Structure 1
Amino acid sequence: MSVSDSPVKGPDVSLYPYSPGEDAPLPKDGDRTARIVDDEEAQNLSRGLQERHTQMIAIAGAIGTGLFLGLGSSLQTGGPLGALLGYALVGLVVCAIQIALGEVSALMPVTGSFVRHVEILVDPALGFAIGWNVVYGCFMSVPSEIAAAVVLIQYWTDLNAAIWVTILIVISAVVALLFIRVYGELEFGFAILKILLIIGIILMGLVIDLGGVSGTPRLGFHYWKDPGPMVEYIASGSWGRFLGFWAVMTNAVYSFSGVESLTMAAAEMQNPRQNIPRACKRVFVRVTVFYFIAVLIVGMLVPSNDPRLGNESGTASQSPFVIAAADAGIKVVPSIINAVVLSSAWSSSNQSILAGTRTLYGLALKGHAPKLFLRTTKNGVPYMCALLQIAVSCLAYLTCSNGAYTVFNWLLDLTSAGVLFSWGTIALNHIRLIQAFKAQGVSPRELPWHNTWSIYSSFFALFMCVLILFTGGFTVFTTGNWSASSFISSYLDIPLVLVFYLGWKFFKKTKTVSLYEVPIQQALHEAREDVENVPVKKSKWSRLNILWG
């Protein structure tokens, strides 16, 4: 391998072109701007997340209110079969996204994950646009989740909402500013609670369905026959049933959102090049199985035409599992589900803080945000990023005013398409990486983790993300269903990202990164030189551990 005599700058400026099959020049020692994993994050951030934290963080992020409370809406819209097919299709997209994220992140385990990857592999301007879109979405999600938590708490008490908002903001601030290991342990505990609840309600659902509760008949697949497996939505006939199935997509995407946050704090993980692929593989299987069984059971327990499915209280009373338990005379279930959903809301808030602060830190590393946000505590926490996030969290006090809360929800809805932008970016990054390997004559097998078929699954995921992004708000274009607020929440994020992208491109005169300029050799060099990059030792316990082993 030949090493250039002159230093080569990293992805913000072009590497010197070379012919396919020729090794890319490596930078001189000490040229920190050429490194993929920046010295700033390598030295100032603390690797406090272990393998079990990594895997359970992703599970905690993907299992939340969308599963516990949102299945009822999907069942009402698509019917038991329509909901099952909708979640299965989005589950395939999530599988492709997880594989793509794992392959790229194992090679480049950087803070900010796919936001940093896109500027290395596609265009710095796109990294700026997607990065600030993620930051905005995460920053707005924290007060939203706090507001949701307050609604859940008021299921038990009528105490002034401002008191609970204050308590939750203070607790979130403490977690955000403490050592990353504290966050990891909290999410580990939340994930265990969620998994135990899912297993419990699935078993409860099976007992109810099979007539195991005294005084309740055996249901079987009765509701698949009456009122039927699919629901006519907006239109009639087969077209109406298809629209019902397609309308489930948005709910399914929301339910799975959070899996992309797995690698946001990659620079704070122990042995990320080994643990990230392991987490991506295991998390997808566990989450998909949980969702698939849960959707199937719900369709067997509650008819799609049950009016209670339209309840939008935001508490456990709108859960189809609670509806089924109430019909079976099981009274303790609502409080249990409400308590775990409350932990889910707080968990989602913590994850948004982690993703938002680490993305902002990554933007500051590349000059896309003020250097002020690079300041860290002695424990390696980017405290300036956390303080800004905490300040924005005070928007949760708007819940105390109905009019202000409406405005707040409108602002939050602007980022409803953000998860599809994130997933599409992950797929695009992977496609570009594999194409760069081929253009430079390097075998993709050199990657720390690679699957030969993953390039095709990434194209499928990218296509589906774009399709759902543009058709997710289709109902507003049907006769009699026009809603300005629904149109804005579904589509305004698209021009916002375009404005960010074109504005930064014009201001900084950035260029699309050529496939020959992607710093593959530098990334492979760092992977080979990483002293942590060794296979994870398996214990006898890990073989029995079905959650994170």
Structure 2
Amino acid sequence: MPDPSRSMPSNGRRTSIDSQGGVDAELGHASLTQPFLNGDTLSTHDHDHDHDTPLLTTSETKSLKRSLAQRHLSMLALAGSIGTGLFLSLGQAIQRAGPLGSLLAYAVVGFVVCAVQFALGETAALVPVTGSFVRHAEMLLDPAWGFAVGWNLVYGNLVSVPVEATAVCVLVRYWGWGIHDAVVILVFWVATVGVGMARVRVFGEVEFVFALVKVTFVVFLVILGLIIDLGWVPGQEAIGLRYWSDPGPFVEYIATGDWGRFLGFWAVMTGAVFSFAGVESLAMAAAETKNPREAIPRACKRVFGRVVVFYMLAVFVVGLLVPSNDPRLDGSGDTVAQSPFVIAAQQAGIPAIASLVNAVVITSAWSAANQSLLAGTRVLYGLALKGQAPKIFLRTTSWGTPYICVGLFAIFILLSLLSLSESAITVFWWLVSLTAAGVLVSWATILLNHIRLLKAMKKQGYSTTKLPWHNWWTEYSSPLAFVTVIVFLLTGGFSVFTKGNWDAAKFVSSYLDIPIVSSAFLFWKYTKKTSIVSLDEVPLEMAFCQIEEYPNEPEPPVNKRGWIHALSWLWD
């Protein structure tokens, strides 16, 4: 490793690291003395200095608390990925592409998810900061791109939380209890804001429980589906692979022949991207995670397998249970009654499954709201740290919660009261679809950050073995996945360009995010005169010095007994 006492470039400025591991404050960088990885209080500097450093800042290490464990991160990604898309919308995938077409589409997207997870893990393990890849973009790409992606995420999450409240209202109506929507929204508001204002560990434990519930239910549905398919339900004959033969493994979409079958496959693949949305949020609270340089990589590599296995099994079983031409799949995802699992259970004489699915989907909606609030508030806090949002958002409680950020989201949740008007529900779902392409923008940013990190290391003469976590294949998987994500982004609304299928709302929801992010990027670049970060100026030496100066805390011994250990395969 290069001598840590020598000066190094950082954003075009000389930064010296003294023998104590601190950064020269007079050069405008936050102190890094004793020891930021453990979350201890550091020397106090004015917030004005914080936005000059691309690494951990005084404000983060002084105000936020490291309370999230590795099991929280792993289950956080599971909870975010297994949601309404899995329980309600798989039927639409089967209808669009057929059982084999859907399975192949999810396999391709699974590769992209794997590449994104590993790219995020390698970068976040080196630079574990609040806001994750948003801050990495400023360090590795261009401060203007960090601004654009950051505000795009804040905007998307501000809209997403009230939409989840609206979804809960619709789901509760399924039971016909006559509970007024305003009461449902009030309960949702109290629960969501309560978790958001609590210690981050409370959030971790809530999502941990949600993930266990959802994983258990997915396993139950898969096993139930296999039992139904094999004819082990009294009075029901075996289905086997009947629907793979008739109506067939593929479905034609828009066109006919092989081209039509390919378009069906592609339409499902672009939709499958959003089913996996959420895995990228696991590092958003990296500055609030214990031993992030070990916990984040563990969560990334272990969660991927679980998520893909659950989805692949679920898609396969759904393709066995319901034929692609079943008219009940029309509009799949609008109500619980159109879930393929529910259709199959009702055919087998088990009507109670609908209520179970509905209950679990309600917990999924609340879980999604919690995650949107956490991701949105931490990105907003990170933007404020970098001088890209008002400084008032830097205020935190004594237990480390950015309460002004949470307060802003609490106000937006009240917008869900508009759902008391039936027509407003459609408007809200349209609004959230506008941000759907933001998932692909985030994935592209993660992959590009990683590509730039490896290029900077090569340019500055560092071996990849110096990274806290690295896998040789990511040098190839990240560029390939980046190109694939860009293709997904550009073809997300391809159906509107085919003859007779123009839909203005679909066109806007598929592509509006591109000019929104581009405009934000150009605005910040023009007003602040930013430039693309030179590979020579990426502050790698500072990052590597931090790793050596401040190693991880020793982990406490693990309890090898009890039900928690029996389930620990999910995260460990």
Fold conserved between structures, TM > 0.5: yes
Secondary structure in structure 2 of the residue aligned to 1:545:
helix
Contact 2:89 2:332 in 1 (8 A): no
Residue 86 (structure 2) aligns with: 67
Identity %: 55
Instruction: Return the letter of the residue paired with 2:129.
Output: V
Q: Quote how far apart the aligned CAs of 1:321 are.
A: 0.6
Q: Answer yes or no: is 1:546 the counterpart of 2:569.
A: yes
- 2:342 aligned to which of 322, 336, 351: 322
Contact 2:131 2:284 in 1 (8 A): yes
Question: Which deviates further from its counterpart, 48-57 or 233-242?
Answer: 48-57
Secondary structure in structure 1 of the residue aligned to 2:471:
coil
Residue 38 (structure 1) aligns with: 57
Q: Quote how far apart the aligned CAs of 1:138 are.
A: 0.8
Contact 2:247 2:323 in 1 (8 A): yes
Contact 1:148 1:314 in 2 (8 A): no
Deviation string 1:159-216 (CA, Å, 9 cap, x unpaired) is 2212211211121111111111111111000000001100000000010000000111
Provide the aligned length of Structure 1 versus Structure 2: 538
Residue 378 (structure 1) aligns with: 398
Contact 2:98 2:319 in 1 (8 A): yes
Alignment of 1:44-123 (within 5 A): 44-123=63-142
1:172 and 1:347, CA in 2 relative to 1: closer, same or farther beyond 3 A?
same
Residue 396 (structure 1) aligns with: 416
Matched residues in 1 for 2:298 and 2:432: separation? Answer: 33
Matched residues in 2 for 1:536 and 1:52: separation? Answer: 14
State the TM-score, normalizing by the size of structure 2: 0.91
Contact 1:15 1:519 in 2 (8 A): no
Question: Which deviates further from its counterpart, 171-180 or 527-536?
Answer: 527-536
Contact 2:68 2:290 in 1 (8 A): yes
Deviation string 1:405-439 (CA, Å, 9 cap, x unpaired) is 34333332221100000001000000000000000
* RMSD of Structure 2 on Structure 1 (CA): 1.8
Deviation string 1:221-246 (CA, Å, 9 cap, x unpaired) is 11000000000000000000000000
- 2:447 aligned to which of 423, 427, 432: 427
Matched residues in 2 for 1:418 and 1:544: separation? Answer: 33
Q: Answer yes or no: is 1:498 the counterpart of 2:506.
A: no
Alignment of 1:226-245 (within 5 A): 226-245=246-265
1:95 and 1:533, CA in 2 relative to 1: closer, same or farther beyond 3 A?
farther
Contact 1:249 1:472 in 2 (8 A): no
Gapped runs of 5+ residues in structure 1?
18-25
Residue 535 (structure 2) aligns with: 515
1:27 and 1:449, CA in 2 relative to 1: closer, same or farther beyond 3 A?
same
- 2:190 aligned to which of 151, 158, 170: 170
Instruction: Return the letter of the residue paired with 2:321.
Output: L
Contact 1:128 1:501 in 2 (8 A): yes
Question: Which deviates further from its counterpart, 374-383 or 307-316?
Answer: 307-316
Matched residues in 2 for 1:195 and 1:408: separation? Answer: 28
Q: Quote how far apart the aligned CAs of 1:313 are.
A: 6.3
Matched residues in 1 for 2:81 and 2:189: separation? Answer: 23
Residue 327 (structure 2) aligns with: 307
Contact 2:222 2:313 in 1 (8 A): yes
Contact 1:16 1:517 in 2 (8 A): no
Q: Quote how far apart the aligned CAs of 1:47 are.
A: 1.1
1:355 and 1:134, CA in 2 relative to 1: closer, same or farther beyond 3 A?
same
Secondary structure in structure 1 of the residue aligned to 2:501:
coil
Q: Quote how far apart the aligned CAs of 1:16 are.
A: 5.4
Matched residues in 2 for 1:62 and 1:313: separation? Answer: 16
Q: Quote how far apart the aligned CAs of 1:546 are.
A: 1.1
Alignment of 1:62-461 (within 5 A): 62-156=81-175, 157-312=177-332, 314-461=334-481
Instruction: Return the letter of the residue paired with 1:467.
Output: V
Q: Quote how far apart the aligned CAs of 1:531 are.
A: 3.6
Q: Quote how far apart the aligned CAs of 1:29 are.
A: 4.3
Deviation string 1:487-511 (CA, Å, 9 cap, x unpaired) is 0000011011100001110000000
1:547 and 1:206, CA in 2 relative to 1: closer, same or farther beyond 3 A?
same
Instruction: Return the letter of the residue paired with 2:95.
Output: Q
Question: Which deviates further from its counterpart, 524-533 or 301-310?
Answer: 524-533
Matched residues in 1 for 2:466 and 2:312: separation? Answer: 35
Matched residues in 1 for 2:361 and 2:430: separation? Answer: 23
Matched residues in 1 for 2:110 and 2:158: separation? Answer: 26
Secondary structure in structure 2 of the residue aligned to 1:546:
helix
Secondary structure in structure 1 of the residue aligned to 2:461:
coil
State the TM-score, normalizing by the size of structure 1: 0.95
Q: Quote how far apart the aligned CAs of 1:395 are.
A: 1.3
Q: Quote how far apart the aligned CAs of 1:403 are.
A: 3.5
Deviation string 1:24-74 (CA, Å, 9 cap, x unpaired) is xx9744431446111211110011111211111111011101111110110
Contact 1:70 1:251 in 2 (8 A): no
